[in-house]
Amino acid sequence: MKNVIIAPVGDNMDALFVGIKDFPTERIILLSPKNRLDEAEKAKSDLEKFQIPTKIMEIEGNVWEEMFSKIAQIKNLEKDNEIIVNTATGDRTTTCAATSAAFVNGLKAISVEGSETMLLPVLKFSYYKILTDKKLDILKLLNDENCCASLEELSKRTKMSLPLVSYHINGTLKSDGLKELGLIETLEKKGKIDVKLTTLGRLLVKGYIN
């Protein structure tokens, strides 16, 4: 089976061709910041010489949020295909963002060292698959900066009982809660529990919604 390769456009585009050598490629999707579109077009032109169809998706605004959003979007569109994220092609920021987005989505990711391709450790799950609708409802609400100053407020806005909200946040011995998954953080203020999204939680919600 050939693969759909996702690759950020950055400082090491030669790594794209090393990856192709080891992983049969059907199509390539380049994720390019606006200031690297010329490099993306050059890579696309070079790939066409090998008859590999290539699509360029521009990253605008916050690189981390866009990378999570684009990779989640591609995963949904390419759900019947094998997807590999080549993390080695980007710069420091886009490489980190692409690696994290692959990790969260449970996608295969590779790196390149010289002429050698390395398969990065693969999670056996995607965060999106283990999050129930109720947990996602909580995350979406917390994405609103005005929510929530307390568990009680969160309970009212989600229309869940306080014990149920606490269960989804803290989990049990058999089921990880949002806090254990690293998606939210809590802080006690004046006797009340303030609940906020972590950076990972915020990025995950951005990817899920889009």
Domain definitions of the chain by residue range: 3-119, 131-209
Res. 4: pLDDT tops 90: yes
Binned at pLDDT 50, 70 and 90, residue 210 comes out as very low
For the entire predicted model, the pTM comes to 0.75
Place of tokens 């295969």: 108
Nearest Cα neighbor of 16 from 56, 49, 37, 44 is 44
3-class SS shares of the chain: helix, strand, coil, % to 5: 45, 25, 30
Looking at the domain 3-119, which fold is it?
Rossmann fold (3.40.50)
> Token digits for 91?
């710069």
Q: What is the structure's pLDDT at 163?
A: 92
Q: How far apart are CA 71 and CA 125, in angstroms?
A: 16
Res. 193: pLDDT tops 60: yes
Looking at the domain 131-209, which fold is it?
Arc Repressor Mutant, subunit A (1.10.10)
Preceding omega of 96 cis (within 30 degrees of 0) = no
Q: What is the structure's pLDDT at 124?
A: 59
Mean pLDDT of 137-153: 85
Binned at pLDDT 50, 70 and 90, residue 1 comes out as low
